[in-house]
Amino acid sequence: MSEDGSERAGRDAVAALQALLDRAEVIVPFTGAGISTESGVPAFRTPGSPWMRNKPIAFDAFMANPEARIEAWRRKFAMDDLYRGAQPNRGHAAIAALVAQGRAPGVITQNIDGLHQASGIADAAVVELHGNGTYATCLSCGLRHELAEIRRVFEASGEAPSCTACGGVVKSATISFGQPMPRAPMRRAEELTLAADLFLVAGSSLVVFPAASFPVLASRNGARLVIVNREPTELDAIADLVVRGDIGETLGRLAG
């Protein structure tokens, strides 16, 4: 149990979460990889995670070194194959219901899997702090490139793709370590965070910043902070409620 006894599990936890949700005016969900594991997308910091098999390729290495770009694309396509066809699960559906009911103005996510959009939430209501891995963009002119074509060229030539329009470096539309955070999503995430009176974290270890600064900002701004996570997180101590359990199980039992 956390020192103030705010940690709950099972039915007691769902009832406590339901009571907080029922009282809330503006709910802002904040999600991490843990909400997608039920869909077959592996999390980052769980034992044996395939994401941790290799040291991440930092943005400056990707930009400076064609070999690093080739390796980054190889890894990207291998991970895409690992969770191809992943579908939204009960956790995504519960959050989509909050958005559809107008109780959540949007969702802030660290995930790049596009499953919140696939669950029916409009693109504009999904704030992707770490970008999106379902397409690529040119880092010079911003042109969008579809992964199927990128992969065809990559596998035919063995070369890292370049922009068909301007010849610039093409990268998955995700934010790598060392890459500047996307300005508009960061601004929107701050707006949502400051508007929240209930900030609902689901499935994040809360160790990566600046993303993990939003639950802190919400709490400092007077919002109630709820963390639903299977394992302890870095911010449990400041949460009003910690639900130690499975996200799909917990959110799936909330009243629709």
Among 14, 30, 34, 113, binds ligand APR (CB under 6 A): 34
Query: Does residue number 32 form part of the binding site for ligand APR (CB under 6 A)?
Result: yes
Q: How far is the CB of 25 from ligand APR (least distance, A)?
A: 26
- Interface region with ligand APR, contact rule CB under 6 A, candidates 36-44, 63-71, 95-103, 185-193: 36-44
∠ Cα 178 40 184 (to 5°): 35
Alpha helices in the chain (DSSP H): 10-23, 59-64, 66-82, 90-100, 115-118, 147-157, 183-195, 213-220, 247-252
Query: Does residue number 172 form part of the binding site for ligand APR (CB under 6 A)?
Result: no
Which string of DSSP letters, residue by residue, matches 114-178? Answer: -HHHHTT--GGGEEETTEEEEEEEETTT--EE-HHHHHHHHHHH-SPPB-TTT--BEEEEE--TT
Where in 179-238 is the site for ligand APR (CB under 6 A)?
A: 203-205, 208, 229-231
Query: Does residue number 45 form part of the binding site for ligand APR (CB under 6 A)?
Result: yes
Among 13, 28, 43, 150, binds ligand APR (CB under 6 A): 43
Residue among 45 and 74 whose Cβ is closer to ligand APR: 45
Query: Does residue number 103 form part of the binding site for ligand APR (CB under 6 A)?
Result: no
Active site residues: 130
CB-based contacts of 30, cutoff 8 Å, min separation 6: 107, 108, 109, 199, 200, 201, 202, 204, 214, 215
Q: How far is the CB of 232 from ligand APR (least distance, A)?
A: 8
Query: Does residue number 253 form part of the binding site for ligand APR (CB under 6 A)?
Result: no
Task: Work out the burial of residue 202: count CB atoms within 10 Å of its CB; fewer than 13 is exposed, 13-18 middle, 19 or more buried.
Answer: buried
Three-class DSSP category at 215: helix
Where in 123-142 is the site for ligand APR (CB under 6 A)?
A: 130
The residue of the chain with the least Cβ separation from ligand APR equals 34
Binding residues for ligand APR, per CB under 6 A? Answer: 32-34, 37-38, 43-46, 110, 130, 203-205, 208, 229-231, 246-248
